[in-house]
Amino acid sequence: MKIGVLGAGQLGQMLALSGYPLGNRFSFFDTTGSPSAEIGETICDQTGARLTEFLSQVDLVTYEFEHLPLELVKQVAHHKPLFPSVEALGVCQNREAEKALFDRLRIPVAPYRLVNSAEELASACQQLMAEGAPAVVAKSITEGYDGKGQAVLSDPSEANEAWALIGHSRLIVEAFVSFVREVSIIAVRGRSGDVVFYPLAENHHSEGILRYSLAPLPDVTDAIQQQAEGYIHQLLDSLNYVGVLTLELFQCADGTLLANEMAPRVHNSGHWTQNGAMTSQFENHLRAVQGLPLGSTQAIQPTCMINIIGQLGDTQAILGLKGAHLHLYGKSERAGRKLGHINVVADDLQSLMTQVRLVSKHLPNAPEPKFTCV
């Protein structure tokens, strides 16, 4: 099957790498002007003028990037099967719509407010702090990712500066909550409605960017895993979703999970599945959108994904370490840029963490790996 991918970054490239053994061929449609995928044909078009050319090359379309012009995506869906749907993309592009869906499905979230001015931001900050929040995070309704379009406020007096910094006309303001760790669950829903779930992963962020993901977690109870599966299953069914969906969550001390945000695509916190699971998230996404049987999501070994940010580091030394699998994206070095990742696998958690620490020493400015289960 010929598959079209909206977006031409590393996620699209990894989809293609997983799809070629299935007999798939790929065409990418880049709207950013800076594609990095180098496998399959890429059409660079920031105006939509070449959309007909792109669609003539493919049997169905998916996307690896949610920040796409919604009208262009609607045009795609009018001519070709599109998975996930336009509705799913529209919800995930807009934090206000996303929170409304969580609320409608009674999926718990941190207390929040919606604001349209610096004055309203200050008021929301004051209200949430009066309810017990030690601080708040203000986020743009659209377009923010990897810490962009966000500001943390510890006092209402910081509202004017935060409003100017974010530069959007409408923000969502969320209370900081006391949580034990950040986790994510990845699920896959097929065209017939069948669903499979990957084990929860624990995620470690630094400066708003994911640095480490660890799975499976030895201290996750069946009840917590089932709680996460229940939430994401509701989302999948409510959106009649097809493909991989990711739900990021905060785990509180009492075991309660609070939804943070979701992504309608393969996800950075699921890269561990390439070397640590029976079927990677990338292959399962392609199976889902083509109506093929979904693969097993069982973890093979304890695995930690380490993002390579800004500088490549000593990749030769990393390749010499036991259990280290290097995945590079073909990007040039730049501060804050995701250049690749390393999946480290081992027979047990203690051995894994020993190897993860050795790998991290070869990556400039990598934070020390810390996980609650270690």
Structural domains in the chain plus CATH codes: 2-82 (3.40.50.20), 111-175 (3.30.1490.20), 181-360 (3.30.470.20)
Task: Tell me the mean pLDDT in the region 143-158.
Answer: 83
Which secondary structure element, helix H or strand E, spans residue 5, and what is its range?
A: strand 2-6
Q: State pLDDT tens for residues 118-139.
A: 999 999 999 999 999 999 999 9
Distance (Å, rounded) from C-alpha 358 to C-alpha 199? Answer: 25
Q: What is the pLDDT of residue 178?
A: 87
CA 50 from chain center: how many Å? 28
CA angle at 332 for the pair 330 and 333, rounded to the nearest 5°: 130
- Given a contact cutoff of 8 angstroms between Cβ atoms, the answer to whether 25 and 4 are in contact is no
pTM (two decimals): 0.95
Q: State pLDDT tens for residues 45-90.
A: 989 999 999 999 999 999 999 999 999 999 999 999 999 999 999 9
CA angle at 220 for the pair 216 and 225, rounded to the nearest 5°: 90
Q: What is the pLDDT of residue 351?
A: 97
Q: State pLDDT tens for residues 160-178.
A: 999 999 999 999 999 998 8
Mean residue pLDDT of the chain comes to: 95
What are the C-alpha distances in Å from 265 to residues 15, 82, 195, 256? 11, 13, 15, 25
Q: What is the pLDDT of residue 147?
A: 59
